[in-house]
Chains A and B, each alone.
Chain A
Amino acid sequence: MKIVQGVAVAAIAIGGVSLLVLLAHSGAAGAQEAAAQTVDPVILKWAFIGAAAAAGLSALGAGYAVAVVGSAAVGALAEKPELLGRVLILVGLAEGIAIYGLIVAILILNQAG
């Protein structure tokens, strides 16, 4: 579980840092960039890298988490089938890691224009 948490945190952190860099750049550039209506290619490059890392790494983390939680869930259901609803929530939480990464990626790409 520590590996899963590590991968997920790394993915979200990379995405978050990329987003902050973008926001800072866009704020500093201000009116000049607005006038030019173009995005610096370096920023664009890092925006794509950040978005890809956020979506990709969080998907990997989620896949790993679902594999472990899913195995445990199947074991729990074999003993107590009445737990299906609760177990689905736990698997959904693991899957949510991928969605957080995807949201961060979308935010990055939005900022990059």
Chain B
Amino acid sequence: MTALHSFAYAQARAQARYGDRLEDSDWQRLGAVRSVNQYLETARATSLGPWVAPLSQDMDHHQKERVLRAVWRDTVDEVSGWMPTDWQEAARLWTELPDLPSVVHVQRGWFAPEWAERDDHLAEALPEAAGESEQNAGAAWLTRWRSAWANPSRAQAEALEAIATALFPGFDATGVPVPAAAYRAGEAAIDAELTRLFRRHAQTPVAIFAYLAFTWRDFERFRGGLIRRQLFHDGRERSAA
């Protein structure tokens, strides 16, 4: 298969999944749920079902986190398999996104948390990070991602840069967190920009990475909602009991 055929295949699959994405009303319905178990059951009935399937109600938050990180790696591996060989490495780098906060934690000289040592993937990655000097892990990851691009055209490179900007919306170019209000105001604009790139650059790596960026944002939203409920809502109920 040539690159064109691979991207045609990948585009069709990404397009189908893009059509199944949760809409704002679905997220609002999910956001209105208070308990973890109800949250999981509500999510199970949506297109988030494949992410929910390996989670069970009796897992603690560390187990859920570990399973979700594995689910994300599987998701990225699947998408990278759709792409031409020379783009697969760039796509596979996206498996590392959920690990970046832990990497920063270890780079700052703190011990790897106990839960991280129970995750085979993190247990391998963190000791390597411990030897590195502290740096902006997001910026370092972006540098590696850029170097893995397989000769994109100028227009494609510009579009991929736009995706890079959308990936870390909570931080400015130097890695400093932006104020929460600015972050929230930028959310809709980021989605609009990713949608534009996804449609404008159909059958190119840009569209597939825009799709991955959508998926990453949905994944973070789902994961954040789940862990928040597990730690705060259910935790509060347990301590009240």
Which residues of A are interface residues toward B (Cβ below 8 A)? 67-69, 71-76, 78-80
Contacts and interface: CB of A to CB of B under 8 A. Distances in A.
B16 interface: yes
Q: Which of A67, A72, A73, A75 has the most CB of B within 10 A?
A: A75
Contacts of A74: 9, 12
B1 interface: yes
B13 A76 contact: yes
30 contacts: A67-B5, A68-B5, A68-B8, A69-B8, A71-B1, A71-B5, A71-B6, A71-B8, A71-B12, A72-B8, A72-B9, A72-B11, A72-B12, A73-B12, A74-B9, A74-B12, A75-B8, A75-B9, A75-B11, A75-B12, A75-B13, A75-B82, A76-B12, A76-B13, A76-B15, A76-B16, A79-B13, A79-B16, A79-B17, A80-B16
Nearest to A79: B16
B108 to A, nearest CB: 42
A56 to B, nearest CB: 21
A68 B8 CA distance: 6
Interface of B: 1, 4-6, 8-13, 15-17, 82
B interface secondary structure, majority: helix
B13 A71 contact: no
Contacts of B15: 76
Contacts of B17: 79
A19 B5 CA distance: 35
Across the A-B interface, the 3 shortest Cβ-Cβ residue pairs: A75-B12, A79-B16, A75-B9
Given A75-B82, A79-B17, A68 B4 contact: yes
A66 to B, nearest CB: 11
B76 to A, nearest CB: 17
B6 to A, nearest CB: 7
B72 to A, nearest CB: 19
Nearest to A76: B12
B208 to A, nearest CB: 11
Contacts of A67: 5
Contacts of B10: 75
